[in-house]
Amino acid sequence: MNLIRGIKGTAQAYWITLRTMFRKPVTIQYPEQKRQPFPRYRARIVLTRDPDGGERCVACYLCSAACPVDCISMQAAEAKDGRRYAEWFRINFTRCIFCGLCTEACPTRAIQMTSDYEICNRDPLDLVYEKTDLLIDDTGKDPDYNFYRHAGIGVVNPRGGNEDEKPPADVRDLLP
């Protein structure tokens, strides 16, 4: 009985080896050949701009609060017109685990993940990205979204003054 089981096990192993020998190999000759990741692949993080070209980030700290490894830090500042922005913004990619929680937490869709996975570096300090390394001149995955136009903060227009915005509700009108 043991002999039959042994022969069967050996034959199965040979069969798997033979079958695999005639399959097309999946090895990719990286870095000469590059694989295109799926669109939702989570790699290098960027800070995007709204369609008007302004910085989307309002330095609300939600991304750094959501980050499980505490690798995002920033300093909030306010422009003359009242619009908030990050005076400096830093991500330590030596700690980032590319979980995407920061992008989920962001109310302005400023922080987004890209599929650029080639950010390896020998010097760990080169993996600490400052705002100049993170901010791109593009809207990223959501080209039409403009936080200030939707939020109705009186920076772009007076509150309720935007085309796609209803006037602010007076909560006293809602009371019984």
CB of 59 to ligand SF4, least distance (A): 5
Binding-residue pattern over the window 38 to 57 for ligand SF4, x denoting contact by CB under 6 A: -------------------x
Contact 132, 147 (CB under 8 A): no
Contact 88, 72 (CB under 8 A): no
The rounded distance, in Å, linking the Cα atoms of 124 and 92 is 9
3-class DSSP state for residue 129? strand
The stretch near ligand SF4 (CB under 6 A) out of 1-9, 97-105, 154-162, 168-176 is: 97-105
Q: Which helix (H) or strand (E) holds 101?
A: helix 101-105
Alpha carbon 29 to chain centroid, angstroms:
27
Is 134 a binding residue for ligand SF4 by CB under 6 A? The answer is no
The stretch near ligand SF4 (CB under 6 A) out of 32-40, 100-108, 134-142, 156-164 is: 100-108
Provide the β-strand partners of residue 103: none
Kindly report whether the peptide bond that precedes residue 143 is cis, defined as omega within 30 degrees of 0.
Answer: no
Q: Which helix (H) or strand (E) holds 91?
A: strand 84-92
The stretch near ligand SF4 (CB under 6 A) out of 19-27, 58-66, 125-133, 161-169 is: 58-66
The stretch near ligand SF4 (CB under 6 A) out of 16-24, 29-37, 93-101, 161-169 is: 93-101
Is 71 a binding residue for ligand SF4 by CB under 6 A? The answer is yes
Is 7 a binding residue for ligand SF4 by CB under 6 A? The answer is no
The rounded distance, in Å, linking the Cα atoms of 18 and 10 is 12
CB of 170 to ligand SF4, least distance (A): 28
Q: Which residues bind ligand SF4 (CB under 6 A)?
A: 57-63, 66-67, 69, 71-72, 74, 91, 96-102, 105-106, 108, 110-111
